[in-house]
Amino acid sequence: MFKKILLSLLLFTAVLSATTPTQDSVTKLYVATFERAPDAKGLAYWIDDSGLTLEQIAMSFFDQKETQDKYPSGTDVRAFVETVYDNLFNREPDEKGWAYWTKELEEGSVSRSVFILAMINGALGDDAVILKHKMEVGLYFAKNGLDDAEDAISVMADITEDPATVVAAKKLIDEIVTPGSGNKPPVADAGVDQNSVATDATVTLDGSESSDPDEDTITYKWDLKTKPTGSSATLSSDTAIKPTFTADIKGTYTIELIVNDGTVDSEVDSVQVAVDIDNTDFFITTWKTDNEGVTDDNQIKISTHPTGYTYDYSIDWGDDQSDTGVTGDKTHTYSSAGTYSVKIS
């Protein structure tokens, strides 16, 4: 009972405190009441021309057609409480909060405008972070002179406690202000299809040609989408630039790649690996890369006849690297000296 009386006194004091409105505080009112960024003209009016305190502005919001359309006469109080929590914090109230505020509003102990101010002023933890982020994006929208109501809603739709969502929302606003200036999606490149691969070969995928037009840093997400029935193949990593897998049986393997620039995913790009050679068809040899007086650069070279022959062969270099579709001479550099078993098919 004491807590209830104390809270009521605090809320009543807040109403009487005649708080001077600021861009920050009025933006939070827009978020709580309308679930959108403030339009530039509206924000300017409430701050510069209305002559009202923050508490009076909060009450005046409920005289606006937009509010009446959003919360028509007869709107369930419990639903109203839920909506305000979601507008501000992206969540439902806990059951105690739901029960308390529903009772206070139904009994008329607290007005809807005072309830909204209490929610704004009482935000803690992640709630406070989310509200701060929404306020920041809302102000950015208004300061860019924007007034479209649909845009004001859409730019706020995905804001969370993650700072990256603020960056993404601001890029959307930049795109509205100057089409073409906002974030451009990255482009995934899963590499070229690989053919005539032998079973048990280590296949190296290559996403290094993926790019971002804004030169943002990109991250990789590979998915071994399909593989032959009975295959146990798995990727060595689904986030590496050049993951590998062992082609354990014959058939076609399809691998998809999506890259992300921190804001948006790319379209999917895919690569196919056709495994159609038994590993018994390998020519296997051993190479030593550090033969004294022969080589000291950890390289080996496979030479082909220069004229009169057509080549199409695959090489497993024995260091988890491979090449397919080789049509001529091929040189490979090892990261360290040693003896390697090289398979050619």
- 187-199, pLDDT tens digit by residue? 999 999 998 888 8
Give the confidence band of 322 by pLDDT, cuts at 50, 70, 90: confident
* Strand-pair partners of 204: 244
DSSP code of residue 45: I
C-alpha closest to that of 53 among 99, 22, 13: 22
Residue 302 sits at φ, ψ, to 5 deg, of -100, 120
Span 103-125, average pLDDT: 92
Q: Please, are residues 282 and 290 in contact by the beta-carbon 8 Å criterion? A: no
Q: Which residues, including other chains, have CB under 8 Å from residue 243's CB and lie 6 or more apart?
A: 204, 205, 222, 235, 236, 237
Span 330-335, average pLDDT: 85
- How far apart CA 261 and CA 88 sit, in angstroms, is 28
- How far apart CA 63 and CA 67 sit, in angstroms, is 7
Percent of all residues in the chain with a pLDDT value above 90, rounded to a whole number: 56
Span 227-253, average pLDDT: 95
Burial per residue of 53-77, b for 16 or more beta-carbon CB atoms within 10 angstroms, e otherwise: bbbbbbbebeeeeebeeebeeeeeb
Provide the pairing of β-strand 194-198 with 269-277. Answer: parallel
pLDDT of residue 199: 87
Span 217-242, average pLDDT: 96
| pTM attached to this predicted model | 0.54
What is the set of domains in the chain, with CATH numbers? 2-177 (no CATH), 194-278 (2.60.40.10), 282-344 (no CATH)
Percent of all residues in the chain with a pLDDT value above 70, rounded to a whole number: 88
pLDDT of residue 5: 38
Give the confidence band of 249 by pLDDT, cuts at 50, 70, 90: very high
* Strand-pair partners of 341: 286
- Furthest C-alpha separation in the chain: 99
Q: Which of 4-8, 17-21, 72-76, 86-90 has the lowest mean pLDDT?
A: 4-8
Tens of pLDDT, residue by residue over 161-188, are 999 999 999 989 988 887 766 678 899 9
Tens of pLDDT, residue by residue over 129-151, are 999 999 999 999 999 999 999 99
Mean of the per-residue pLDDT values for the chain? 86
